[in-house]
């Protein structure tokens, strides 16, 4: 008798547990659908760079990729993934964004950033900010909390103070190694190590973001493509999301980020065909590169410079970090 009751309890327990368990498995599989790509700038990162420095870049890109991957695989949004990945790269001295922003011709720092969501084409951007620790977070606040898209200069800095984001003195961006490189540099207006991230989440929303200190030795007040929606950043859930890096003036001239989406939407190009058309046919050689993800989760990372720091991961097991072709 006792044994019978005992068996009934066990059977009852197992039956009630099975549906819960299989639901949980389905939820896990669904929660896992994502693609994320990151760039750390297109340029001329020499293969002869000391191994230890190469490793620092690879480790940083790996860490950035893990931050985004963990958010997305845990069911988080592409908006959070893009912001947090870029925050990490902005706080990392190795990259030309946030902390490691390059010097203007006056030896100061002016930072640009933008972010866009594919689900409703909303976007936010800041240009020429001088005291904002994480420009991409202020760009997100512009998108979410104002009726505007782009704030520049003093007004953008003041908006950051009003919103209570982290404020730093301009000297926070001054790094003595970078400063000595800048003093020695006789190659004006170089590009490189700008950061960007594009992600597709489990809710089929694509977010793209870009953050930069601009081009080394840029004239004070110069604004590049990175804070310009359609040039440096674009996202549309009907097609794809894009973040660009390179000589901003050429990316502005070619409406670079938007043209990829437009080629897909209006001419039926695949993501690869559209990216290749921009990078290898429309932009001149040595002008830069892009990272892009389409609505199916395919990704592309073409560039026409010597190097482009980049990383990609998805729920199908891709996890890679690359610098050269």
Taking a C-beta distance cutoff of 8 angstroms, is the pair 185, 216 a contact? yes
Residue 216 near ligand ASP by CB under 6 A: no
- Using the minimum distance from each CB to ligand ASP, give the nearer residue, 41 or 124: 41
DSSP 295: T
Under DSSP, is residue 128 helix (H, G, I), strand (E, B) or coil? strand
Segment interacting with ligand ASP, rule: CB under 6 A, options 45-53, 54-62, 241-249, 302-310: 241-249
Q: How many Cβ atoms sit within 10 Å of the Cβ of residue 180?
A: 10
**Structure-token pair, residue 281:** 């046919």
Residue 241 near ligand ASP by CB under 6 A: no
Sketch the per residue contact string, 101 through 140, with ligand ASP: x for CB under 6 A, - otherwise. ----------------------------------------
Q: Which of 123, 191, 217, 243 binds ligand ASP (CB under 6 A)?
A: 191
Residue 215 near ligand ASP by CB under 6 A: yes
Which is catalytic among the residues 35, 77, 130, 194?
A: 194
Give the Cα separation of 73 and 37 in Å (integer). 14
Under DSSP, is residue 106 helix (H, G, I), strand (E, B) or coil? coil
Active-site annotation holds for 245: no
Shortest CB 211 distance to ligand ASP, Å: 10
The DSSP string of 262-287 is HHHHHH---HHHHHHIIIIIISPTTS
Shortest CB 307 distance to ligand ASP, Å: 12
Q: Of 202, 211, 212, whose CA–CA distance to 73 is shortest?
A: 202
**Structure-token pair, residue 66:** 């893990």
Taking a C-beta distance cutoff of 8 angstroms, is the pair 90, 213 a contact? no
Residue 214 near ligand ASP by CB under 6 A: yes
Contact residues toward ligand ASP (CB under 6 A) are 41, 191-192, 194, 212, 214-215, 224-226, 245-248
Catalytic residues: 194
């Amino acid at each position: 008798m006792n044994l019978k009751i005992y068996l009934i309890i066990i059977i009852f327990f197992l039956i009630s547990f099975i549906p819960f368990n299989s639901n949980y498995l389905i939820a896990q599989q669904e929660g896992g659908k994502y693609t994320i790509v990151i760039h750390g700038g297109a340029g001329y990162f020499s293969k002869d760079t000391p191994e230890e420095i190469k490793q620092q870049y690879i480790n940083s890109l790996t860490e950035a990729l893990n931050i985004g991957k963990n958010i997305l695989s845990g069911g988080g949004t592409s908006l959070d993934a893009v912001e947090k990945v870029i925050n990490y790269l902005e706080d990392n001295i190795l990259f030309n964004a946030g902390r490691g922003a390059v010097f203007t011709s006056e030896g100061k720092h002016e930072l640009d950033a933008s972010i866009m969501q594919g689900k409703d084409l909303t976007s936010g951007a800041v240009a020429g900010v001088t005291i904002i620790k994480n420009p991409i977070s202020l760009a997100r606040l512009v998108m979410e909390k104002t009726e505007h898209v782009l704030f520049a200069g003093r007004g953008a800095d003041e908006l950051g103070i009003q919103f209570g984001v982290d404020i730093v003195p301009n000297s926070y961006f001054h790094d003595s190694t970078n400063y000595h490189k800048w003093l020695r540099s006789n190659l004006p207006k170089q590009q490189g190590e700008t950061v960007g991230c594009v992600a597709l989440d489990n809710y089929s929303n694509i977010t793209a973001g870009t953050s930069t200190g601009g081009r080394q030795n840029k004239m004070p007040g110069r604004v590049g493509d990175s804070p310009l929606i359609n040039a440096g950043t674009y996202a549309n859930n009907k097609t794809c999301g894009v973040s660009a890096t390179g000589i901003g003036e050429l990316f502005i001239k070619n409406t670079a980020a938007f043209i990829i989406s437009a080629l897909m939407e209006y001419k039926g190009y695949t993501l690869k065909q559209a990216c290749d058309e921009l990078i290898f046919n429309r932009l001149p050689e040595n002008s830069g590169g892009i990272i892009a993800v389409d609505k199916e989760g395919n990704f592309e990372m073409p560039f026409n410079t010597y190097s482009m720091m980049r990383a990609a991961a998805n729920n199908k097991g891709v996890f890679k970090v690359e610098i050269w072709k």
